[in-house]
Amino acid sequence: MPIGLKHKYDVKPDEAVSAFKTTVESREGVAVSQQRLIHEGREMMEGTLADYKVREMSTIDMTMRLRGGHLTRFICHKKRTCTCAFMITSQTGDQTAL
């Protein structure tokens, strides 16, 4: 992925977490089964985005286990649109922007 790549997502509070994960899979190429979405310290597994108190200016982290570290994507909601910034966090905690 190029450095500084950003994507926007249109979301609604009543959108199912499973539907959002499917959207992320189709756009990012990360299988739903490998996604781990976290909002305010809670893993988003089922229900709706509203169930996890996702609203304007919320942040959702997506992590995925990779050999040598984790891929973390920060998704910042603003006016029902998200922007993603991609980071790789190594097992030592060092971060590198993609």
> For the chain, which domains are there?
8-97 (3.10.20.90)
pTM exceeds 0.85, yes or no: no
Q: Which position has the token pair 């590198």?
A: 96
3-state DSSP call for residue 8?
strand
Beta bridge partners of 87: 72, 97
DSSP 16-59: BHHHHHHHHHHHH---GGG-EEEETTEE--SSBTGGGT--TT-E
The pLDDT-based confidence of 67 (bands split at 50, 70, 90) is low
Encode pLDDT of 6-47 as tens digits: 566 778 888 999 999 998 889 888 889 888 888 888 999 999
First and final C-alpha spacing in the chain: 6
Neighbour count for residue 89 (Cβ, 10 Å):
15
pLDDT at position 59: 74
Q: What pLDDT does residue 42 have?
A: 92
- The rounded mean pLDDT for the chain is 70
